[in-house]
Amino acid sequence: MSGLFSFHGGLKTVRHKTESNREAIRASVLPQRLTVPLRQHIGAIAKPLVQAGDRVLKGQMIGQPDGYISAAVHAPTSGVVKAVDQRPVPHPSGLPDWCVTIDSDGEERWIAREPVDYRRLHPSALRNLLRNAGVVGLGGAAFPSAVKLNLSGHCERLETLILNGAECEPWITCDDRIMRERAAEIVAGLHVMVHLLEPREVLIGIEDDKPEAIAAMTAACAGTGYAVRAVPTRYPSGSVKQLVRLLTGKETPVDSLPVDVGVQCFNVATAYTVHRAVECGEPVISRIVTIAGHVNQPRNIESLLGAPFAGLVAQCGGYRDGVERLIMGGPMMGFALHSDEVPVTKATNCVLAAGAAELAPEQPVMPCIRCGACVEVCPADLLPQQLYWHARAKEFDKAQDYHLFSCIECGCCSYVCPSRIPLVQYYRYAKNEIWAQEKEKQKAELARQRHQARQERLEREKQEREAKLRQKAPPRAEPNAEKPSIETAVARAKAAPAPSLATAAGTGQQTD
Ligand code: SF4
Ligand code: SF4
């Protein structure tokens, strides 16, 4: 435990790890139909590359990254594209999103897989490979890893690269199992990251309630210079800023990223997918998911992305009696699902079939008594009750003054609040309102710019028309030019030939 620091706040939670971590990871049964969301990462949604009726191979790119912060999406099995349309996805909003639905042909035919020697690749080509392989953070945030593997604009030299194996949510064990079973592959992925980032030191943080994982990772790191550190089991030690603080003593300032203080952090499962992408030529088409709570055999399953949650629950012997709610993620930071037919995505680390015991008992919300318990446990050093007041009063500017966006939604404050105030729900509401207002502002600004551009175009066209007319018109007499005298006009008329009758009739003029 030498060289460890501590962070403010946090909680000791009741652990449920042993219910799902005793058994080795199982492969999922191949579902007949997979619904693959095109948005499984933070950033721009991937652009679809297929349409209904197309045949696809396992590992074929079906959605290409769109922009810098984006990631590719791949077919998890071979088969035929049934549809590209909006379907229910696991999201707190319950709103549908764009998906590619694939009917499996049962053959599991792969694309050609081409491993590469990463030491021979230019860093930008290597990052591009990872982007096109759909590598994103598998700890739950799903941020595109290629972006985090580029230091430009943040710091010149990385001090510390951290591999996050803390896994502090009380029910989740997918990282525990992957470290026990695939430690060598995780370290192989870590070598690729080290090659790109060239950190001065590499630290691997694992909560001390995972002795087998600590032993496996320590053995795999032998001779590499990477240090495995057991950190105290205290929620939320797996949150990035808290783990950075624990391992390095560095505080990441409000509104900054760890990389701004010279530290970059990746989840252990992300390192594993980096290895598969580079040294096996396999894109991210599956992930390990903990199925826990009120199911008959809680365990970890390596699920294809796009597989329905209901199939995973069936592989765990089905639900037990008393399921009150289905939660994606843990009970502290997860969110309730509207259905178990939604698909597994890269962010799905856990499906918890929660019973009454796992949920906070329904009690009437009481007024805030200003006890300060929420301040004591807030790991982000915020003033949760102030945030609550301002969010409730819709004083969003003031909530931002109290660093609303530094709240990591860990739920520690709600957990200890004696008045049972659902504090995190207020923070999420305030954040959503601020984002919605920002979007409205951006839309209004866009509309104003379009209107202004149209007015300028109309004015320009008007001036061009007038300029053309001026060019066509005969030169006008000068206003001061001398008028012909009456005598001159009479002489001109006499000299002109008299019109013939035919000419006069043809013009319709009357003759006397
Ligand atoms: S814990 Fe609850 S009651 Fe106590 S100060 Fe915070 S919000 Fe108020
Ligand atoms: S949810 Fe936000 S305000 Fe509450 S304890 Fe966690 S970081 Fe602090």
Per-residue pLDDT tens over the stretch 355-379? 887 776 667 899 999 999 999 999 9
Name the residue with the closest Cα to ligand 2, atom 1. 409
Quote the CA–CA distance of 211 and 144 in Å, as a whole number: 30
pLDDT of residue 423: 95
- Of ligand 2's listed atoms, the one at least distance from the Cα of 380 is 7
Query: How many Å lie between the centroid of ligand 1 and the Cα of residue 427?
Result: 14
Name the residue with the closest Cα to ligand 1, atom 7. 385
Our CA dihedral for 445, 451, 456, 458, rounded to 10 degrees, sits at 170
> Do the beta carbons of residue 286 and residue 349 sit within 8 Å?
no
pLDDT at position 296 over 80: yes
Which residues in 248-276 are b (16+ Cβ under 10 Å) and which e? bebebeeeebbbebbbbbbbbbbbbbbbb
Name the residue with the closest Cα to ligand 1, atom 1. 417
Ligand 2 neighbour 417 (Cβ under 6 A): no
Name the residue with the closest Cα to ligand 1, atom 2. 417
Name the residue with the closest Cα to ligand 2, atom 6. 410
* Residue ranges of domains in the chain: 17-304, 366-454
Ligand 2 neighbour 333 (Cβ under 6 A): no
pLDDT of residue 359: 73
Per-residue pLDDT tens over the stretch 375-394? 999 999 999 999 999 999 99
Quote the CA–CA distance of 417 and 424 in Å, as a whole number: 11
Per-residue pLDDT tens over the stretch 456-512? 999 999 999 999 988 887 655 555 545 555 566 556 655 555 444 333 333 333 333
What strand order describes the sheet that includes 47-48?
A: 47-48, 61-64, 73-74
> Do the beta carbons of residue 247 and residue 224 sit within 8 Å?
no
Question: Average pLDDT in the 274-303 region?
Answer: 98
User: According to CATH, what is the number of the domain 17-304?
Assistant: 3.40.50.11540
> Tokens 């200890």, residue?
416
For all residues of the chain together, what is the average pLDDT? 91
Per-residue pLDDT tens over the stretch 99-143? 999 999 999 999 999 999 999 999 999 999 999 999 999 998 899
pLDDT of residue 499: 42
**What's the pTM?**
0.85
Ligand 2 neighbour 409 (Cβ under 6 A): yes
- Of ligand 1's listed atoms, the one at least distance from the Cα of 419 is 3
Ligand 2 neighbour 72 (Cβ under 6 A): no
* Ligand with an atom nearest the CA of residue 382: 2
How far from the centroid of its chain's Cα atoms is residue 77's Cα?
Answer: 23
- Of ligand 1's listed atoms, the one at least distance from the Cα of 366 is 3
Ligand 1 neighbour 359 (Cβ under 6 A): no
Ligand 2 neighbour 187 (Cβ under 6 A): no
Ligand 1 neighbour 385 (Cβ under 6 A): yes
Ligand 2 neighbour 412 (Cβ under 6 A): yes
pLDDT of residue 33: 98
pLDDT at position 451 over 80: yes
pLDDT of residue 508: 36
Per-residue pLDDT tens over the stretch 389-439? 999 999 999 999 999 999 999 999 999 999 999 999 999 999 999 999 998
pLDDT of residue 439: 86
Question: Average pLDDT in the 93-98 region?
Answer: 90
Which of 239, 408, 421, 426 is the best mutation target for the ligand 2 pocket, counting ligand atoms within 8 Å of the beta carbon and taking the most?
Answer: 408
pLDDT of residue 504: 36
Name the residue with the closest Cα to ligand 2, atom 2. 407
Which of 419, 420, 425, 427 is the best mutation target for the ligand 1 pocket, counting ligand atoms within 8 Å of the beta carbon and taking the most?
Answer: 419
Helix (H) or strand (E) holding 123: helix 123-132
Ligand 2 neighbour 378 (Cβ under 6 A): yes
